[in-house]
Amino acid sequence: MKKNFETILDKVIRVGLYIRVSTEEQARHGYSIESQKARLTEWSKEHNYNIVDFYIDEGKSARTKLSNRKELLRLLDDVNDEKIDRIVIWRLDRWFRNVADYYRVQDQLEKNNVDWECTDEDYNTTTSNGRLYLNIKLSIAQNESDQTSDRIKFNFENMVKNKRPISGALPPGYMVAGEKQNKRVVKDPNLEQMAIDMFDKYEETISLSATTKYLNETYPFRPIAYECVKKFLKNPIYYGTYRGVTNYCEAYISKERYDNIQSLLLKNHRKNNRSTHIFIFSGLIRCFDCNRKMGGSIACRKHADGNVIKYGTYKCCKHFLDKQCSNNHTINESKLENWLLDNFIKELNNYIIETEKVDEKLAIKNNINKIESLNRRLDRLNDLYIDGKITKEKYDLEYNNIQEKLNIEKQCKDIPKTRDLSKYKTLLNNNKFLDIYNKLKGENKRKFWYKYIDHIIQDKEKGFIVFFK
């Protein structure tokens, strides 16, 4: 857009050469800074311009805000300081890809009688047709810039179609090999067996936790989390398909086997989600190591006849979640229940005997302490009366008061106060305890144990130690 100001015609025109290139453009189209620089220099020589400076915004995309295009701002400063008569750019999209920004800057240029031109495109903004053309070009450029991210996406899809790896982590058993254009996803010899074992173990146990545990024990150099095993088992790359592209890489399993595993995962998921199992000891078992309540979880075992058996277990969450506790034991619910039914009466008997002994001792000790204390008060009262510090009336009143209390405590000596053990005694006297228990269903079994037991701790020698309420 050349303006034929007389001042410009009379003297050598001073130009500012503006260059912009984004990282992506540089990589994709070779719009390098050097080639733009060469073109602008050549152009300036041809037209006998006086080059004031190069203004180079490197790594700035067309989306970059004006305020972040530092060199453009420096150029505008020089425009305002009247150091420049004309701005030369390679193509319009180097200058602006946004209609609004273009007119904001254009306004400033016109105030300073500065115009601009492109070396490789021709614009004439002195006619309405020329201005319309410019607006259309700017709009197209803006639209193109919006589509850049779509193009990157498209490019990735193309790479996948050509079986070339794109950035992103690969699941265990795969790695990238080869150079540049020949890069391919291949089997990783170090983790090949791990990938095979992952599928074998899952099919064998139908348990994600058992599979995770096995993999971590067998391949400690490649730690793997429960959630990752679940994710990997669902990854179609293992049957050679990636982003819908078949034969993308060498497969570990067939599509049929993959589908079968997906249905097992789904069943397993459903089972856990609508688990009807009632953990009859939930909240009652404490970890012998960290003293936390052990959490209930469903375990599955494949029986010889092919049926899957589901059963309740209890584990220390502190160990199984973050290994902060060393207790890696799993308590089988039915084993604990059987142990309790075999040992409950014996344990309860011991508890009653021990409690009564302790309570008696405690009560006697309490009683003796109180009698001693009252006797001391009586001694002090006598001293006060003898010394004439209190009247006969006051002495009599206080003396009777203390004596009365002493009489009560002396009577109590024979009947120690004990904890109420009646509910345990009633249970012990009931011969049909086992019969009644066996008729109970899950929820009522839980209520039964909650009524009597405070908590249970696993014990190496005895099996378990029961703490009654």
Is the CB of residue 315 less than 8 Å from the CB of residue 294? yes
Give min distance, CB of 281 to Zn ion, in A.
16
From residue 106 to residue 125, the character string flagging contacts with Zn ion as x (rule: CB under 5 A) and all else as - is: --------------------
Place of tokens 């639209």: 143
Is the CB of residue 345 less than 8 Å from the CB of residue 410? no
Q: Please state whether beta strands 453-459 and 330-332 pair in parallel, antiparallel, or not at all (unpaired).
A: unpaired
Q: Which is nearer to Zn ion, 139 or 328 (CB)?
A: 328
Give min distance, CB of 315 to Zn ion, in A.
9
**Binding status of residue 290 toward Zn ion by CB under 5 A:** yes
Secondary structure element (H or E) that encloses residue 89, with its range: strand 86-89
Give min distance, CB of 295 to Zn ion, in A.
10
Between CA 258 and CA 57 the distance in angstroms is 52
Sequence-ordered list of residues with C-beta below 8 angstroms from that of 111, at least 6 positions apart, any chain: none
Give min distance, CB of 360 to Zn ion, in A.
36
- Binding to Zn ion (CB under 5 A): which residues in 296-355? 316, 318, 325, 327
What are the helix (H) ranges across 3-127? Answer: 6-10, 23-29, 33-46, 70-80, 92-95, 99-111
| SS3 label, residue 242 | strand
Query: Hey, what amino acid is at 342?
Result: D
- Residue 243 is given by DSSP the state T
The upper half-sphere exposure of residue 41, i.e. CA atoms within 13 Å in the direction of its Cβ, equals 8
Question: Is residue 460 classed exposed, middle or buried when 0-12, 13-18 and 19+ CB atoms within 10 A define those classes?
Answer: exposed
Dihedral over Cα of 263, 205, 235, 188: its sign:
negative
Q: Which is nearer to Zn ion, 87 or 316 (CB)?
A: 316
Q: Which is nearer to Zn ion, 290 or 428 (CB)?
A: 290
User: Using H for helix, E for strand and C for coil, what is the string for 243-292?
Assistant: CCECCCCCCCCCHHHHHHHHHHHHHHHHHHHCCCCCCCCCCCEECCCCCC
Tokens representing 127? 């006619």
Give min distance, CB of 332 to Zn ion, in A.
17
Of the candidates 73, 81, 313, the residue with the CA atom closest to the CA atom of residue 209? 313
**Binding status of residue 86 toward Zn ion by CB under 5 A:** no
Phi/psi at 338 (5° precision): -65, -40
Stretch that binds Zn ion, among 156-164, 179-187, 216-224, 288-296 (CB under 5 A): 288-296
Give min distance, CB of 292 to Zn ion, in A.
5
Give min distance, CB of 322 to Zn ion, in A.
11
From residue 55, how far is each of 17, 43, 106, 142 by CA, in Å? 6, 16, 17, 22
Is the CB of residue 84 less than 8 Å from the CB of residue 16? yes
Give min distance, CB of 327 to Zn ion, in A.
4
Is the CB of residue 313 less than 8 Å from the CB of residue 285? no
Count of residues near Zn ion by CB under 5 A? 7
Between CA 303 and CA 442 the distance in angstroms is 24
Q: Which is nearer to Zn ion, 448 or 464 (CB)?
A: 464
Q: Which is nearer to Zn ion, 135 or 330 (CB)?
A: 330
From residue 239 to residue 278, the character string flagging contacts with Zn ion as x (rule: CB under 5 A) and all else as - is: ----------------------------------------
Give min distance, CB of 465 to Zn ion, in A.
16
Is the CB of residue 199 less than 8 Å from the CB of residue 193? no
Kindly list the catalytic residues. 22
Q: Which is nearer to Zn ion, 72 or 287 (CB)?
A: 287
Q: Which residue among 195, 280, 287, 453 contacts Zn ion (CB under 5 A)?
A: 287
Tokens representing 191? 């983790």
Q: Which is nearer to Zn ion, 252 or 320 (CB)?
A: 320
- Binding to Zn ion (CB under 5 A): which residues in 382-421? none
Q: Which is nearer to Zn ion, 191 or 325 (CB)?
A: 325
Q: Which is nearer to Zn ion, 352 or 457 (CB)?
A: 457
b (16+ CB within 10 A) / e for 292-323: bebbbbbbbeeeeeeeeeeebbbbbbbbbeee
Is the CB of residue 174 less than 8 Å from the CB of residue 188? yes
| Residue numbers at the binding site for Zn ion (CB under 5 A) | 287, 289-290, 316, 318, 325, 327
